[in-house]
Amino acid sequence: MLFLTIFALVVIVPFVYMFLVSLKSPAEMGNGRIMPEALLDLLRLRGISSVLVRVQLSDEQLATLNRAPGAPFAPFLAVPPEKLQQMLLPTVPRDTLWGRRISLEKPSAAATFIVGIFELPDPEGKLRQLDQLTFLCPHPSGNAWTAVAAKRLPNTVGTLLSRLFVNYRSLVNWDTLASGKFWQWLSRGYPRWYINSLWVSIATVIFGVFFDSLAGFAFAKYDFPFRRVLFGVLVATIMVPYPVTLVPSFFIFAKLGLYNTYAALIIPGLVSAFGIFLVRQYVQTIPDDLVAAARTDGASDFEVFWYVILPTARPVLAALAVFRFLWQWNSYLYPLVLTNKDTMKTLQLGLATLQETYGTVDHGVQMAGATLAIIPILLIYIALQRHFIAGITMGSVKG
């Protein structure tokens, strides 16, 4: 029992760490802290003694802000920008409030601005009475400060939760979905990769389990010429590394005009030597008298397979379905070779290429994508858990 508990912790800890990293902002990466600041603020309800301010910045303003001394802290004034007599300030006033930058978010890939969220200390509650503040952004010349309008965000649990899951909202293009553009949201980026992986994995599982079980039934219950030789050759193909088949597969699908199609992603997984071997070994344990009785009642060969073999072999088919889903869901090399369009990428391929224009990687967004990628695996295992355990433990008890 102790060993199983330790093993469970070893498996769960990396997932928990990945989830916590997915909640961190870019400024928190590599700071040595496990817990993200947004989660600590939510647990402590820090919004009571501080306020969150939203600032809309251009790429140029963000670049000058990152080069300014004191980053990630930035100056604010507790007055609207239109009340300033000078929009270009030579120095920072004495009554400046310094806010800590907690997140940067680009609402969508087509957006020309970046939204920054800053936290300002407000122990006396004066800032909570203001709707607008002034953010002082360094001027590109380096000798002045530009006044930019800033809006105070309400101190609610919803605001803190929105800040906590900012990486997830950026990953799934939440603003596009919230604006009602469902088909546009579904046609590109992470949602498209997710749907591609689901479609390819489910189609491979359904058709693959059917063909594997059909061939396994034939090898187990039929006597035909060279059956043992053919089965031996089939099992021997398991020892062939599948990367060896990548180049031939590429040329075959390219010649057939199936490159960059779902067919190229599904067809290679329709038949598995391991699946045929697994089903054949299980079907051999089914009594021949059961098959003979069905044939005596007038059942055809396919009816014997459909009404007798499949229900009896449900445990091994459930185990095979889980294995097949995991293989296809985590597949990377085949989608990399057989597709080159962004709209045809699967989830694993999309996550590997999820980076900004200059090759920099937002690890928080990538970890958010990896966290969401685990959900279908958990759902499949929970749905088939009872049959899966029966399938992998078959033959362990005799008598």
Q: CA 183 to CA 265: how far, in whole Å?
A: 23
- Res. 366: pLDDT tops 70: yes
Provide the pLDDT confidence category of residue 4 given band limits of 50, 70 and 90: low
Instruction: Give the domain ranges of the chain.
Output: 46-164, 189-392
Mean pLDDT confidence for 285-313 = 89
pLDDT at 242: 80
Q: Which two tokens stand for residue 27?
A: 């400024």
- Res. 203: pLDDT tops 50: yes
Name the average pLDDT for the chain.
Answer: 82
pLDDT at 390: 60
Say if CB 209 and CB 318 are below 8 A apart: no
Q: What is the DSSP letter of 306?
A: I
pLDDT at 395: 47
Q: CA 351 to CA 190: how far, in whole Å?
A: 8
Q: CA 302 to CA 210: how far, in whole Å?
A: 12
Helix (H, G, I), strand (E, B) or coil at 50: strand
Provide the pLDDT confidence category of residue 217 given band limits of 50, 70 and 90: very high
pTM to 2 decimals? 0.77
pLDDT in tens, 34-50: 888 778 777 776 666 77
Mean pLDDT confidence for 153-175 = 80
pLDDT at 290: 87
Mean pLDDT confidence for 284-299 = 88
Of residues 72 and 307, more confidently modeled:
307
Q: 189-392, superfamily in CATH? A: MetI-like (1.10.3720.10)
pLDDT at 399: 43
Mean pLDDT confidence for 225-249 = 89
Q: Over the Cα atoms of the chain, what is R_g?
A: 29
pLDDT in tens, 329-350: 999 988 999 998 889 999 999 8
pLDDT at 125: 77
CA 313 to chain centre: 33
Q: What percent of the chain has pLDDT over 70?
A: 88
pLDDT in tens, 47-94: 667 788 888 888 788 777 777 666 678 888 887 766 665 567 777 777
pLDDT at 351: 87
Tell me how far CA of residue 211 lies from CA of 45, 54, 207, 224, 342, in angstroms.
56, 56, 6, 19, 31
Element (H, E) at 389: helix 385-392
pLDDT at 12: 83
CA 249 to chain centre: 27
Q: 231 CB contacts (<8 Å, ≥6 apart)?
A: 219, 280
Backbone angles phi, psi at 252, to 5 degrees: -65, -50
pLDDT in tens, 107-144: 655 667 888 888 888 877 788 888 888 888 887 776 77
Task: Report helix angle 227-236 to 273-283, nearest 10.
Answer: 130
pLDDT at 358: 45
pLDDT at 121: 83
Mean pLDDT confidence for 354-359 = 57
Mean pLDDT confidence for 364-369 = 88
Helix (H, G, I), strand (E, B) or coil at 245: helix
Q: Which two tokens stand for residue 78?
A: 């507790």
- Determine what percent of the chain falls in helix, strand and coil, rounding each to the nearest 5: 60, 10, 30
Q: Which two tokens stand for residue 205?
A: 């599982």
Question: How big is the CA angle at 74 (ends 69 and 120), to the nearest 5 degrees?
Answer: 145
Provide the pLDDT confidence category of residue 197 given band limits of 50, 70 and 90: very high
Of residues 75 and 264, more confidently modeled:
264
pLDDT at 216: 93
pLDDT at 85: 55
* Sign (positive or negative) of CA dihedral 383, 206, 197, 338: positive
132-138 vs 73-77, strand pairing mode = antiparallel
- Res. 379: pLDDT tops 70: yes
Q: Which two tokens stand for residue 61?
A: 């303003």
